[in-house]
Structure 1
Amino acid sequence: MNNTVKKNKYNVWIWILSIAIPIAVAVLFTVKIPGVERLGFLPPIYASINAFTAILLVAAVYQVRRGNRKAHERLMKTAIGCSVLFLLMYVAYHMTSDSTVYGGEGVIKYVYYFILITHILLSIIVIPFVLITFVRALSGEFYKHRKIARITYPLWLYVAVSGVIVYLMISPYY
């Protein structure tokens, strides 16, 4: 299989996943599994995974700037794995629990909703960026990889850090 065919195949999968994941999450949000105990222990775990993902991202950039591509690659693969694990736990929690209403008042309520909405929107937007960046690295297109990574990195880092902030702000209301 030549490179163009491989790229086209990857691109098709990138767009399928970039569309399917947010739709699946939205649909699964409406599904409640009867008879399954509420998984209320999950939010601090998946918030911690978000924090760990942020640390991995910063460490990965540090490693690549030092010229250590192998460590960078391992850290990025781990960050992707953590993001998948986060998503699975997040969906499992919401399939067994009602959404928690934020109870803060005044300006802090607007701050919370701003962070929450930007977190949600960017978590959807970042999916194709992460996948494209990853595929470009795997295919050895390092110039193109670096070019898109400059966009992907701050988006992904914001999503990881804002996820932790959202959890910390809503945790008193669980």
Structure 2
Amino acid sequence: MNNEQNILDEKKYNKLIVALSIIIPLAVAALFGVKLDIELPIFLPPIYATINAVTALVLILAVFKIKKGHRKAHENLMKFAILLSVLFLVMYVLYHMTSDSTRYQGSLKPLYYFILISHIALSVAVIPFVLITYVRAITKNFERHKKIAKITFPLWLYVAVTGVIVYIMISPYYL
């Protein structure tokens, strides 16, 4: 398959990428306004913080695998990272639909809010990057995949790591 065909195959996904990049953040924002009067059987924040930590480790391992030429292992790890991110998002939204937000009460408020705000902003911004990177891989447009992956990887890793940091900083204030 030539490069032109790869780009044409890639373009077939553009509308879906744009739609998901808009719909996901809007749906999350809308669901934050929904409060369910149910008590979950488990406390989700440490679980989804752990998912973030595992995601970070999977992303790093995936980079090592591709640098060693293990394309199939890299592919499987990246699919797992996407699955983990979706799982995180579902649990995160579910928690906020069933629980009141916890306020940070520590002495590092400027640092906490910088990390939290950058984490949230980049978690929205990384969505199209992940989707484009994935599409370029499945359409076998590996040169373009590598170029955007160099941007996607640090963004996604930052979001995963800062998710853990935010949890660690706020965890003493959960009721």
Match of 1:57 in 2: 59
Corresponding letter in the other structure for 1:14: I
Counterpart contact for 1:40–1:97, Cα < 8 Å: no
Pick from 28, 33, 49 the counterpart of residue 36 of structure 2: 33
Q: State the TM-score, normalized to the length of structure 1.
A: 0.94
Pick from 74, 77, 80 the counterpart of residue 78 of structure 1: 80
Task: Structure 2 unaligned segments of length 5 or more: list them.
Answer: none
Pick from 10, 14, 23 the counterpart of residue 11 of structure 1: 14
Alpha-carbon separation, structure 2, partners of 1:39 and 1:22: 26
Alpha-carbon separation, structure 2, partners of 1:11 and 1:53: 25
Task: List aligned pairs for 1:86-97, cutoff 5 A.
Answer: 86-97=88-99
Q: State the TM-score, normalized to the length of structure 2.
A: 0.93
- Per-residue deviation at 1:143? 0.1
**Cα root mean square deviation, aligned:** 1.3
Corresponding letter in the other structure for 1:84: V
Match of 1:111 in 2: 111
How many residues are aligned here?
170
Match of 1:131 in 2: 131
SS at match of 1:103: coil
Match of 2:155 in 1: 155
Counterpart contact for 1:47–1:164, Cα < 8 Å: yes
What is the percent sequence identity of the aligned residues? 65
Corresponding letter in the other structure for 1:126: V
Counterpart contact for 2:6–2:140, Cα < 8 Å: no
Alpha-carbon separation, structure 2, partners of 1:58 and 1:16: 28
Alpha-carbon separation, structure 1, partners of 2:26 and 2:61: 31
- Per-residue deviation at 1:48? 0.1
- Per-residue deviation at 1:69? 0.3
Alpha-carbon separation, structure 2, partners of 1:88 and 1:29: 12
Counterpart contact for 2:7–2:141, Cα < 8 Å: no
Counterpart contact for 1:122–1:159, Cα < 8 Å: yes
